[in-house]
Amino acid sequence: MVDKAMNMGDRSNTAPTTSAILSARNLSKSFGGVHAVNNVSLDVAPGSITGLIGPNGAGKTTLFQLLSCFLQPDQGEVLFDGSPIHTLQPYQIAQQGLVRTFQVARALSRLSVMENMLLATQHQTGESFWNVWLRSRQVAQQEREQRDRAFELLEMVGLAAKANDYAGALSGGQRKLLEMARALMVRPKLILLDEPAAGVNPTLINQICEHIVNWNRQGMTFLIIEHNMDVIMSLCDRVWVMAEGRNLADGNPAEIQSNTQVLEAYLGQ
Ligand SMILES: Nc1ncnc2c1ncn2[C@@H]1O[C@H](COP(=O)(O)OP(=O)(O)OP(=O)(O)O)[C@@H](O)[C@H]1O
Ligand SMILES: [Mg+2]
């Protein structure tokens, strides 16, 4: 397992600042009588790799839905770069640099792996009919660049050889990798990963962790939900814990590992 502290070299240059890039303030969301998220607050420091853990059903994915505007909160607010975003649409926050992946990967199975990658890019010149005619050279150049970037990212996650295969032919783990690579096409500032290691074999998990550390070094911030504690503990600067829809604890990995309330929440599930 890659150890972020060991692999980050001099962390003083990339140390998170005090103002959060993403903040949840007193968020609540109920489904019928189920309080999936109940008055939860959380901060993600810019430049950090932040973890979100908790037993099954703790509300982690629902919180991600709220943070990424796939759901509207019943109460509370979400701030991205200091501005409220919880009233926006997911595509609008993607344009601002916040993207997410899904617990169950959502690749379009009847498109090729490469086509899935290229779908992620937005606002290309070629999307406008007139631009296609008036600026065809620029469009062609942009498409070449997107294809090159897509191929580079597919190589990083070990899927380049499958670029022309149907996404539907990929394993569950490979779809997760495709989804992560696709999210990176838009060069986000912040990426929310919902269980990136689930269903992925141990060798690939190590590779994913190395890529996360490298992308983080290049300035990308991560918020990661994960049940694989090795992944969380080796990568994260700070870990937030939820249980039964609420904040349970937050701290650095060592503090969380020795927190008796956290241990009890896991043992009690
Ligand atoms: N769309 C929905 N409709 C009704 N109940 C829901 C819905 N989404 C989530 N829930 C409920 O909200 C609670 C929190 O679910 P959530 O998926 O957020 O948990 P989680 O922490 O991501 O769990 P896991 O680790 O198993 O993925 C659960 O009781 C779940 O059944
Ligand atoms: Mg979940």
Q: What's the CA gap between 226 and 138, in Å, rounded?
A: 41
209 residue type, one letter: C
- Same-domain pairing of 200 and 160: no
User: 30-53 burial, b if ≥16 CB within 10 A, otherwise e?
Assistant: eeeeebbbbebebbbbbbbbbbbb
- Domain membership flag for residue 63: yes
Among 30-44, 176-190, 237-251, the least confident range: 176-190
- Same-domain pairing of 152 and 227: no
pLDDT confidence of residue 1: 58
Q: What's the CA gap between 221 and 67, in Å, rounded?
A: 14
Q: Measured in angstroms, how far is the CA atom of residue 103 from the centroid of ligand 2?
A: 6
- Domain membership flag for residue 47: yes
Could you say which of 169, 198, 221 is where a domain stops? 169
For residues 240-244, average pLDDT: 97
- Same-domain pairing of 233 and 261: yes
Ligand lying nearest the CA atom of residue 59:
1
- 161 CA to centre of own chain: 24
- Same-domain pairing of 194 and 85: yes
Q: Measured in angstroms, how far is the CA atom of residue 230 from the centroid of ligand 1?
A: 23
- Same-domain pairing of 11 and 84: yes
How many separate domains does the chain show? 2
Q: Measured in angstroms, how far is the CA atom of residue 151 from the centroid of ligand 1?
A: 35
**3-state helix/strand/coil string of 181-204:** HHHHCCCCCEEEEECCCCCCCHHH
List the residue whose alpha carbon is closest to atom 30 of ligand 1. 57
- Domain membership flag for residue 177: no
- Domain membership flag for residue 42: yes
Q: Measured in angstroms, how far is the CA atom of residue 63 from the centroid of ligand 1?
A: 9
Ligand lying nearest the CA atom of residue 227:
1
- CB-CB neighbours of 216 under 10 Å: 21
List the residue whose alpha carbon is closest to atom 11 of ligand 1. 36
- Same-domain pairing of 162 and 193: no
- Domain membership flag for residue 175: no
Cβ-contact 117, 157 below 8 angstroms: no
* pLDDT tens digit sequence for 35-88: 999 999 999 999 999 999 999 999 999 999 999 999 999 999 999 999 999 889
Domain carrying residue 240: 4-107+188-267
Cβ-contact 100, 192 below 8 angstroms: yes
- The H or E element spanning position 232 is helix 229-235
- Same-domain pairing of 209 and 165: no
38 residue type, one letter: N
* pLDDT tens digit sequence for 89-116: 888 898 899 998 887 667 677 899 999 9
- Domain membership flag for residue 141: yes
Atom of ligand 1 nearest to the CA of 245: 14
- Domain membership flag for residue 164: yes
Of 120 and 222, the structure prediction assigns the larger pLDDT to 222
What is the rounded radius of gyration, in angstroms, for the C-alpha atoms of the chain?
A: 19
Q: Which of 34, 67, 242 to mutate to test the pocket of ligand 1 (most atoms within 8 A of CB)?
A: 34
- Same-domain pairing of 17 and 116: no
| CB-defined site of ligand 1, < 6 Å | 31, 34, 36, 54, 56-62, 103
Note the residue count of the chain: 269
Say if residue 4's pLDDT is above 60.
no
- Domain membership flag for residue 174: no
Q: Measured in angstroms, how far is the CA atom of residue 128 from the centroid of ligand 2?
A: 38
- Same-domain pairing of 214 and 99: yes
List the residue whose alpha carbon is closest to atom 8 of ligand 1. 62
- The H or E element spanning position 248 is strand 246-251
- Same-domain pairing of 96 and 114: no
